Structure 1
Amino acid sequence: MAKPKPSGLDVYARPYIPQALKSVNQLVAHSVHSQLVRWIDFGQYTHSFAGSRFLPADAPQPSTHADQSELADRLAKPLGPKRYYSHFSDALVQEVQHLQHECEEHALYKVTLFQAPSDPRPAMFWLHVPGLREMSLRVEIGDTVHLWQIHFGLRGEILEAPLLTYRQDRPVLLSPYINLQYHSVIWGIDRLKERLTVRVDGLQPTSMVFNASFTIQGARLGALYKAVADVDHLLATNQASQWMTSMLFPDSNSGVMQTTLNKGTIAWEPHDSELNYEQIRAIDNVLNRAYGTLPYMISGPPGTGKTKTLVELAMQLISAVPEAHLLVCAPSDPAADTITSRLRQHMTPKQLLRLNSPSRSFPEVPMSILPFCHVDDDMFSLPPFPQMMAYKIVVTSCRDAEILVRARLRNADLFSLEFGLLSAMHPEKTTTYPSLHWTGLLMDEAAQAIEPEACLGMTVVAPPEKCMAPQQAPPIFVMAGDQNQLGPRTASKGTALQTSLFERLLSRSVYSEHPLARSRLSGGVMRPLTQKMLPILRPPFANLIRNYRSHPAILATPSALFYNDTLEPEATNTDSLLSWQGWKGERWPVLFATNTSHDETEQDGGGWYNNTEARMACEYAHSFLEAGLLEAREICIISPFRAQVNLLRKNARNKRNKIAMGEVSIGPLEAFQGLESRLVIFCTTRTRDRFLEQDAARGLGVINEPRRYNVAMTRAKEGLVVIGNPAVLEKDPCWQAFLEFCQRNRLWESGDGPWTPPGGEQGRAGRLEKQLLHAKGAADRQANGLRNGVRALGQPDDDEHVLWQSGVDVESALREVDDAEAGGDEEAESAPEAEDDDG
């Protein structure tokens, strides 16, 4: 059968918009502005604790103007300390261009504006915005939405102006008439109902049908430009240059050589008794600051406890140094909320602040952390200065760190203010340098933040240009993340903004070429530091390896593909779904179900969907529920395409279902990063290969998108069902590895016959797969009355744990043989007393 030729049509093209509708937006119109939402008065706030005499001047911002040819040439040049601003300002110029296009893509035509019922505020209306639930449109409270009123004639034709209106129930001819363009302002966001509350002052209700267009967030982008300009300035100054250069361009000169093995004990008492060895070692390294002056990187694959480690580190840092004040950032509000929820278990509202932007909607904030937020007259705001200085930890999103910059609460500002005041008040004395307020910056999920966003937090904690007190250590900078999951969300593709600071730093030789780096390990074995390896650069990083989320069969392929086979399954009770009758082959809780029915696209540009796949997914969910193995809220169904998500929700909410599935969590892939579920049903949706190039150009789908694949396959705890077409998925090396894993172990449900890998050769089994097979072999021998040569099996009532441990022990025995042959009997690094904790 001949392969179909690629389609020349743009399957992602916007639906057809009649020219008559488009022309409404081009009419000469008078602008009508609406009242803005209340905001923080930063000038007044700064004046409440300082004037301007002792505050340093803002760094000058170079011009960002460049034509397209200059932009391409400049972006092609490598990043370095001397061209930091030009590199990222050019990337931001491209981002602005793509954001403007993104706003055009989301423009609405011929939509109805509804009066907001029961809203006591004046001039409030509702606007329905498709895609708001999935956050495909970037909007915040305070943003402007342009509205053009549409008028119709008696035959439904679109008019340039209304012919008449009604006053006191009588028609009145309007002549002449001035078209109005309303600059409405977003006052509320309801993502669940995909609805904006907009304020439209001066509305003439001659028609309630409008065209709507959205605007880029100029203030947010301006803050990013300023951040990279500030960093560029700091890279060129004396004291700050040393710190900022070491943070952004670290090398071995910033590190410390290690000449002795680490001690096997720790000098601090953990708040969390379930920390494992790698987590304890990471926290201890940062507390002792023995690794040098450079970022400490915590590499944490899915389910390994990155946030848990950062929370414990934060608590230990403020316990060790009474004067410590930490800024903790995350790239999104939900991630920052998660950190706050963990910290609030150990802290009071007087010690911990969750700093929110006034642009954040109150319903988006979990009730449990509202006591840790500061609210000023129904608006999130900054606490008064004395109260602000008393907080031990401030948690905010990377973007909202801008609030601290604008309020002049940076280390440089506070240092200059205190030093200047003391010098002016006591000119006869030699003023000692004050200590820094912010002693550290911790960043969670750092691989999802664009580098200019990371710069905002860095400029807050960066030391001043003047000398610090000699006895004070410079601020620490710790990042936790996983560059193998979803990276920064950007409108532009292929620019410097798509590589996070976390990923860029890990690619530098001081991290990537270190002998203990994850990428330099072989066979998945995390070898300990031995006396023979000394002296060695003390590693400025930690590799978390123990997964507390998933069954080993779910982890097997991601561990081999992305983490050098280093993941160690530590989760308990992951076998609760094994009694489901649908599992195949080895009866591990992984299943691939074949679906070759054609994917289809919505005519209105809504995206791709697959009816057969949606039916199959709901049937699988129904089967688990019917078996009574779990509740609906413990199931999630994921698809990379919005139209398929909508179809799945419609099918699941069907009242004709025998079992209620309304609580099944259904959503797009991006919504589930950082989350987990007992059962995951993943719908690949794409069953034809002719549109793969267009998918890739837009960064959609899960084929040839390794990070999206990794996120999809690591959400499940106890069961994973994948639905797809192997003839299409095999074109992606990651999916091919998964298909081979399923075929080798007969974890396959297919009505179309066997699948043959491209080239006809099966890939090699990874370490976790081999351990599972060892355990199975031991189980088979036990069933036949035999005994395993490495260890005797336990009693039947704990066979799941014992069988798995048997496989681990087999591999451990093989490792000991390898180590002995390689001279691996030298003295190894001692583990702390808490090493046996299974975290």
Structure 2
Amino acid sequence: MPQVCRELLSSGLCEDASCPHIHNVPSCDICGLVFRTAQEYAAHNASKQHLKKARGESGAILFCTACEKNVAGTKNWVVHIASARHRACAKLKGLPADADPEEVDAIPGHTLCATCNTHVKDTLWGRHQSSAKHRARQRFVSFRTALDEAERDKNGVSVSDDFDFGIVEGPAAKSGITIHPVVKNTTPSSKISIVSITLASDKGSRTQSPFSVVYDPNRTIGYNTTYSFTVTLRQQYNGRAENRLEILFEDVQLRKRFIIARVLRVIIGNRRDHEQFQPHAPYKPRKRSARQPETNVVEGVLPPSLKAVPYVVPLPMAPIPANLASTLSTGSTTSIVANVRRLYLPFMLDSNTYARHFKHLLWIEEFRMERDLEHYDISSAKLTAHNYYYLLDVPGLAEKRPSVLVGDRILVQKHNSTSGHWFEGGVHFVRKEEVGLRFNASFRASPADRFNVRFKLSRYPLRRQHQALDTVYAEERVLFPLSVHVPTIPYPTQTSAQLKVFNPLIATNAPQLQAVVSIVKRPPGSVPFVIFGPPGTGKTVTMVEAILQVLAANPTGRILACAPSNSAADLIATRLKSLSTDELFRYYAPSRNREQVPLELLEYTYEKVDERGSSYRDNEHAEKRHFSVPPMARMKRFRVVVATCVSASVVSGIGIPRGHYTHIFCDEAGQASEPEAMIAIKTMADSKTNVILSGDPKQLGPIIRSAVARELGLETSYIERLMQREIYDEKKGYGTSVVKLIKNFRSHNAILKFPNERFYKGELQQCGDPKVINATTARRHPPSFFNIDEVSQVKEYVRKLRDDRRVRITDNDIGVIAPYHAQCLKIRASLRAVADGVKVGSVEEFQGQERRVIIISTVRSSREFVEYDLRHTLGFVANPRRFNVAVTRAQALLIVVGDPDVLSLDPLWRAFLNYVYLGGGWTGGDISWDPHTPVSEAGGYDAIARATAEQDMNAFTRRMEELTIAGVEAGEGDDTNVDRPWQDVE
């Protein structure tokens, strides 16, 4: 079979008149395909796929703002907006029922193939790229690109007229229709000669064409003159035809030849019939509006708390490089990752490239954080004047959505303003649902005024991480420890150490005691030591004991103790209260609200009084106090300083010399990104400093908002990366570089057994009180639309637990975990009259905590929920670390509310459900699979579910069930991170 001319495909033209290959390549612009033969092209034109696209029936995923759900394709969209439910939702929100949809940019677990313009499941990406469909699209894109270049006017020569004959009735086509294109030379003093005008069908394999061309050969066109030639269409039968006209020119003076091509098209047939298949108007889904640039920002008045700490080391600005921002702005996650690796990241990560690598990951994360903040933009907001301040109501502020701290900046501009003029307001105080702002004196706002509001990302935490990465400290033993860095002497034993423990429970726990001994006896300048602490094994208790023992053994020892969150840092400080206020200092950022600090820790803090003293609060004296640091002489005398990882930068920032602290401890290190953990280490460690990390890489890692940054490794914590190295093997490195704690004091064995076997090799030993539990229970309660029934079910469980006098459960004993924010709000509202003190939150909010009873609301019904729910919920249930954290928070009772038919699509959850069912903890409808059948770790249960799906399940839901399981959170859509919590890291 004749092949398409390679020269044509690569350059868009072929000057060889004797070329034997095909030159008139049939292509379909609607579907984006090229065809080797006219027969293939004709078959395609009759295909359902082509006809649907010709009718404007897009298969794109469309978002309905009224119903807050996705709809697959324009055909389904028409049906959707005609439904009674849609009209009711639109009326409730004050929206027109026929409002245009929004086009969904990303589908979680999928990658957009720009070539095919379709979303491909991540797990099928490799198969898709090698598929015949993808290769056909690649041929089209390559061909189309070459043609676009060939069709461009060039060298001052233009070819006018429309070469598309459109729809021509049969009789007219038989008679013939003629057009007269015009060639014009616009280059002064030049002469252009027409060498030839040919049709692609005239070359190579001869094919009959309805087009013919008549021209005057060797015609020369002077400056500003024109020449017209004739193209005729004549055909005896109906159908479609396409050809390419190639005009070969020569610049007489330069003796250089060039080609300008035009595509000839025609549809021959009944006009009325063809118009019936065409959409009446082009279908253009409404895109989410882009932010207008801030061209002029009037600086606001920032709170005095920003000057509460006497920093002597300036912070670098570290702005995102413009070229990197440009790379991050376009393309799919996969393509962006590939481009970042190729253009910006070092080929190898070592001590020399360490800073460059992580600085770029930080910039990538910042780029996404900025975009995520746009989700909280407010239009038509009201500002209320109160003394020196303007009060702004911020919906979701109490849940840190968005997170706003004292010292942050918020921009406002008059509503409906089209200019880039904004006023900056400094945040002076934060209440539950409002903030107090101060603007420049020129700012004015009347009660009738409405404003657009933008929240600006606080870059201080990011700048502190950049500052740490910029330091010259890059010791191999800390960043990339090897066996050569580990002494060959045996690790110290518990017997030889003869420690007098402060916590008597440590003495009876061999792994904990060994960890303490190994830390205390480590020579200066050792490799980092890891306390690997699975859930409920007492890793913080072990760390606190180690701190106290270091202080007792080394009179000159000084410790900087960090944790990623204030709650974790407070726990360390609280357990160190045996130290005096001259020995222990708990540092809080000046933005920290005094009411958020445990009363028992206030005496270990230092507060600075603001001399200016104007305040919104009635108690002005309290408002003028800001957390700070004492004078340098006193600061150096503290033997232990406790802070968050980010706030730990204060010690270097105020000028405490490197090496002042002999030990740097980091608790819950698995929750800190590596740059966060490095703030204390790279700014304060010297060649003798020992680093101790405590955490569990099997639980949740740091919260990283950017899918690109996650893919490039920012979600891998420092402790997790270290534990992937050979010297941190749990057995080979025992006592020298790592100790794994194995005694679980939290959960009953029935709860612990499954995660123990799945994540911890079955080594955990249950040591809790077995009297606190009757059973481990999983509940099946299929939720109704928008999960109202599930919210009610959770409330009913809480009510029964609170009313049962036999168990004496309080609100503080119960925790409810839900995968996304909207469900948490609904559950909280439902519990206000029943048990207002019950904590309801995401898995991330429960890490490091425990409750006697944990209720997990999985919030998923495959038959009633759309892709938005699926993205968030399966991201929750299919993530092994989330699963591990969720089920190991419970001490006595675990209740899972959800649809097991959906949960069972994931092998991990399927195995867990089998364990619950066979253990007698199953209630509700019967299990729909054989729980005795071994679970396939390869999965594939989604395919089985689709094969057995009932006929009435609509096509969209079936397709959505394909969104299991791997990579369901990889998308970078506008609201991808709407349920990813914001952390207060200072």
TM-score by length of 1: 0.69
Distance 1:577 1:368 in 2: 32
Over 3 Å counting, the alpha-carbon distance change for 1:289 and 1:41 in structure 2 is: same
Distance 2:544 2:494 in 1: 23
Correspondent of 1:627 among 798, 804, 808: 804
Does 2:468 correspond to 1:227? yes
Does 2:306 correspond to 1:37? no
Aligned to 2:584: 352
Matches within 5 A, 1:799-814: none
Correspondent of 2:859 among 653, 661, 685: 685
Distance 1:321 1:205 in 2: 61
Over 3 Å counting, the alpha-carbon distance change for 1:382 and 1:748 in structure 2 is: same
TM-superposed CA distance for 1:257, in Å, is: 2.6
TM-superposed CA distance for 1:286, in Å, is: 1.1
What is the percent sequence identity of the aligned residues? 28
Aligned to 1:614: 791
Aligned to 1:532: none
Contact kept? 1:329, 1:395, Cα under 8 Å: yes
Over 3 Å counting, the alpha-carbon distance change for 1:438 and 1:292 in structure 2 is: closer
Aligned to 1:284: 517
Over 3 Å counting, the alpha-carbon distance change for 1:673 and 1:259 in structure 2 is: closer
Aligned to 1:316: 549
SS at match of 2:392: strand
Aligned residue type for 2:927: P
TM-superposed CA distance for 1:295, in Å, is: 0.5
User: Deviation per CA, 1:159-213, whole angstroms, max 9, x where unpaired?
Assistant: x59xxxxxxxxxxxxxxxx9962211112223xx333232344442233432211
Matches within 5 A, 1:742-781: 742-750=916-924, 752-757=925-930, 760-761=933-934
Correspondent of 1:670 among 827, 844, 862: 844
Contact kept? 2:785, 2:865, Cα under 8 Å: no
Contact kept? 1:557, 1:738, Cα under 8 Å: yes
Does 2:656 correspond to 1:403? no
Aligned residue type for 2:571: T
User: Deviation per CA, 1:537-586, whole angstroms, max 9, x where unpaired?
Assistant: 853101011111111111111111111111111112x43353xxxxxxxx
SS at match of 1:497: coil
Contact kept? 1:291, 1:538, Cα under 8 Å: no
Over 3 Å counting, the alpha-carbon distance change for 1:441 and 1:753 in structure 2 is: same
Aligned to 1:545: 742
TM-superposed CA distance for 1:461, in Å, is: 2.8
TM-score by length of 2: 0.59
Over 3 Å counting, the alpha-carbon distance change for 1:641 and 1:6 in structure 2 is: farther
Distance 1:78 1:28 in 2: 38
Aligned residue type for 2:483: S
TM-superposed CA distance for 1:632, in Å, is: 2.9
Does 2:725 correspond to 1:508? yes
Which structure 1 segments of 5+ residues have no match?
47-54, 117-121, 151-157, 162-177, 236-243, 412-435, 465-473, 518-536, 579-587, 601-609, 655-659, 765-839
Distance 1:221 1:622 in 2: 44
SS at match of 1:727: helix
Aligned to 1:803: none
TM-superposed CA distance for 1:757, in Å, is: 4.8
Aligned to 1:637: 816
Correspondent of 2:640 among 382, 393, 404: 393
Correspondent of 2:893 among 694, 719, 727: 719
Over 3 Å counting, the alpha-carbon distance change for 1:459 and 1:189 in structure 2 is: same
TM-superposed CA distance for 1:500, in Å, is: 0.7
Distance 1:386 1:403 in 2: 15
Over 3 Å counting, the alpha-carbon distance change for 1:281 and 1:8 in structure 2 is: same
Does 2:688 correspond to 1:477? no
Distance 2:889 2:911 in 1: 18
Aligned to 1:428: none
TM-superposed CA distance for 1:31, in Å, is: 3.9
Over 3 Å counting, the alpha-carbon distance change for 1:43 and 1:731 in structure 2 is: closer
Aligned to 1:708: 882
Greater RCO (Cα-Cα under 8 Å, separation 6 or more): 1
SS at match of 2:353: helix
Aligned to 1:576: 772
Distance 1:135 1:318 in 2: 38
Distance 1:462 1:61 in 2: 23
TM-superposed CA distance for 1:516, in Å, is: 4.5
Task: State which structure, 1 or 2, has the greater radius of gyration over its C-alpha atoms.
Answer: 2
SS at match of 1:72: helix
Aligned to 1:805: none
Distance 1:24 1:478 in 2: 46
Aligned residues: 630
Over 3 Å counting, the alpha-carbon distance change for 1:733 and 1:75 in structure 2 is: farther
Correspondent of 1:592 among 757, 778, 788: 778
Aligned residue type for 1:395: V
Distance 2:480 2:293 in 1: 52
Aligned to 1:271: 502
Aligned residue type for 1:8: I
User: Deviation per CA, 1:101-151, whole angstroms, max 9, x where unpaired?
Assistant: 0111121222333345xxxxx42233333333333434321110001233x
Contact kept? 2:699, 2:881, Cα under 8 Å: yes
TM-superposed CA distance for 1:259, in Å, is: 5.1
Distance 2:491 2:526 in 1: 20
Correspondent of 1:491 among 687, 690, 705: 705
Contact kept? 1:325, 1:439, Cα under 8 Å: yes
TM-superposed CA distance for 1:337, in Å, is: 1.0
Q: Report which stretch shifted further, 36-45 or 105-114.
A: 36-45
Over 3 Å counting, the alpha-carbon distance change for 1:281 and 1:30 in structure 2 is: closer
TM-superposed CA distance for 1:84, in Å, is: 0.8
Distance 1:127 1:320 in 2: 54
Does 2:681 correspond to 1:449? no
Distance 1:679 1:43 in 2: 43
Aligned to 2:949: none
SS at match of 1:328: strand
User: Deviation per CA, 1:498-517, whole angstroms, max 9, x where unpaired?
Assistant: 111011100111113x5447
Over 3 Å counting, the alpha-carbon distance change for 1:323 and 1:290 in structure 2 is: closer
Matches within 5 A, 1:81-230: 81-115=351-385, 122-150=387-415, 160=417, 181-190=422-431, 193-202=432-441, 203-206=443-446, 207-230=448-471
Aligned residue type for 2:637: A
Aligned to 2:196: none
Over 3 Å counting, the alpha-carbon distance change for 1:32 and 1:123 in structure 2 is: farther
User: Deviation per CA, 1:42-91, whole angstroms, max 9, x where unpaired?
Assistant: 99665xxxxxxxx9x99999995644275331448342112112211111
Over 3 Å counting, the alpha-carbon distance change for 1:390 and 1:612 in structure 2 is: same
Over 3 Å counting, the alpha-carbon distance change for 1:79 and 1:115 in structure 2 is: same
Aligned to 2:759: 562
User: Deviation per CA, 1:746-803, whole angstroms, max 9, x where unpaired?
Assistant: 21001x3233158943699xxxxxxxxxxxxxxxxxxxxxxxxxxxxxxxxxxxxxxx
Aligned residue type for 2:764: L
**Structure whose residues are more often strand by fraction:** 2
Distance 2:411 2:362 in 1: 24
User: Deviation per CA, 1:713-740, whole angstroms, max 9, x where unpaired?
Assistant: 1111111111111111112222112101
Aligned residue type for 1:303: G
TM-superposed CA distance for 1:695, in Å, is: 6.6
Contact kept? 2:483, 2:727, Cα under 8 Å: yes
Does 2:596 correspond to 1:361? no
Over 3 Å counting, the alpha-carbon distance change for 1:24 and 1:485 in structure 2 is: closer
TM-superposed CA distance for 1:26, in Å, is: 4.9
Aligned residue type for 2:407: G
SS at match of 1:376: strand
Does 2:492 correspond to 1:439? no
Aligned to 2:480: 249
Aligned residue type for 1:710: N
User: Deviation per CA, 1:17-53, whole angstroms, max 9, x where unpaired?
Assistant: 9999x9998599864432111246599665xxxxxxx
Over 3 Å counting, the alpha-carbon distance change for 1:437 and 1:511 in structure 2 is: same
TM-superposed CA distance for 1:331, in Å, is: 0.5
Distance 1:115 1:59 in 2: 35
Contact kept? 2:315, 2:464, Cα under 8 Å: no
